[in-house]
Amino acid sequence: MSAETVTISSLGAKGDGVAHDSNGPIFVPFALPGETVSIARVKSEGTIMSFATTSPDRVQPPCRHFGPDGVGGTCGGCSLQHLAKAPYNEFKRQILIDALKSKGLEAPVGDIFEAAPHQRRRLVFTVRRRESGIVIGINQAETHHVVKIEECPIASNGILSRMDAIYTIARAAGSDAFRITVTETLTGLDISLDGLRGGLGDQERRAVTNAVIKLKGIARVSANGEIVIEPNKPLLDFDGARVALPPGGFTQATLEAEAHMAELAIAHIGKAKKVADLFAGVGTFALRIARKASVFAVESDEKAIKALDQGARTTQGLKPVSIERRDLFRRPLMTSEFKTFDAVVFDPPRAGAEAQCLELAKSQVKKIVAISCNPLTLARDLAILTAGGYRIDKVTPIDQFLWSPHVEAVATLTKG
């Protein structure tokens, strides 16, 4: 380890400050462009020891776990609380612009749709049993140390207000180390216990069941994907369509971002009469689109596609919704299968939709909406589509992971 003084020239893709010397880049977490800092250095990584100059863009972090001096605290959940709002938004927008440029794409990139504090309705906590008792929190960055969460400015108040109940259920589970995914739904918290070695024993199952019976506001508890107790179906609302979230099921992290992404998609497809929704999940977009057009929804996860189908069947006023369980990575829809569709919406996992886009690019579908949580795979997929004759109308960055380097995007495309 060596100590030296460096000047930060930019922010890296993970939000670290980046300095340079003759050997290449040096990554300094929690440093900002324009700052001169003394660091303890190990290879290409630096830890801030002191400041010679600070940036005017440096602000007081809102959370005690981030550290009052803005150079990182104990919690590893956020990395950019020390950066002022305007440069923070531009940093995230630039991530998307740089990803597009890496594939030779010059596309109109709109202003970022901003996240706000206390919007996150889905959080993953780590649980550890210590001599002093159960600790529920977030891992410290690059370590296995769990920081007990005393406050969290990103989490919804519906989750924060029920931390005592979450602790009660965690204690009843009995295991020394596992994860808890908490999702706020219309009917209460959906709590998923994952990573339990051997699952829950009979004694622990009874303890969890008895705890939930005494508590209020818990819709369901599942363990390693199996329902333990379900006082209420954990329901999500997609423009009036109610869907029961499967155990461990995926949903967008914030309601506000989800609604805005859906608005962008629906506005672009316009008067399309028949729409394919690929990687449809539980129907986040499909059931909203079905208010105006018939929808063919494709998803590989059996529980998710069944939940979507049930939501469609029990909602009045929808256009026809048909479904297919299909792995679009291994068996994408072929070009000939798109002949009857006016528009396509796809929202794949982080790996993107390369195989599907190779087929879609050869189709004559008029409108496409590409939704992605990974700018790099989105750029690759858009490059495939533009090579096939599609024009990128606009790309909108979406921030639903506040104070992190993660950014989502909605890209709209038109054939010809």
232's tokens = 């209420």
What integer pLDDT is reported at residue 72 of this predicted model? 64
Distances (CA, A) of 311 to 147, 177, 280, 306, 339: 39, 35, 13, 9, 27
What is the pLDDT, as a whole number, of residue 120?
97
Q: 111 among the known binding-site residues?
A: no
Prediction pTM value: 0.94
For tokens 């490059």, what's the residue? 383
Query: One of 75, 78, 152, 373 is an active-site residue; which one?
Result: 373
Sign of the CA dihedral running 77, 81, 82, 84? positive
Give domain 2-58's CATH number out of 2.40.50.140, 1.10.1040.10, 2.60.120.560, 3.40.190.10: 2.40.50.140
SS3 406: coil
Q: In the prediction, which pLDDT does 63 show? A: 92
The answer on whether 279 is annotated among ligand-binding residues is: yes
What confidence score (pLDDT) does residue 416 get?
A: 83
User: Which of 222, 261, 219 is CA-nearest to residue 238?
Assistant: 261
The response to whether 400 counts as a known ligand-binding position is no
CA dihedral (85, 88, 93, 94) in degrees, to 10, reads 140
Q: Does 151 appear as a known binding residue?
A: no
Q: Is 75 among the residues known to form the active site? A: no
The pLDDT tens digits for 171-183 are: 999 999 999 999 9
Intervals of CATH 2.40.50.1070 along the chain:
122-235
3-state secondary structure of 242: strand
* Parts of the chain belonging to CATH 2.40.50.140: 2-58
CA distances from 3 to 7, 37, 47, 80, 183 (A): 14, 10, 9, 24, 44
Per the structure block, which two tokens stand in for 415? 């054939």
Residue given tokens 């295991």 in the structure block: 175
Ranges of the chain with pLDDT below 50: none
| Domain 90-116+251-415 listed as CATH 3.40.720.10 | no
Q: Does domain 122-235 have CATH number 2.40.50.1070?
A: yes
What are the φ and ψ backbone dihedral angles of 389, each rounded to 5 degrees?
105, 10
The segment(s) of the chain belonging to CATH 3.40.50.150 are 90-116+251-415
d(C-alpha 145, C-alpha 412), whole Å: 42
Average pLDDT across the chain, whole number? 95
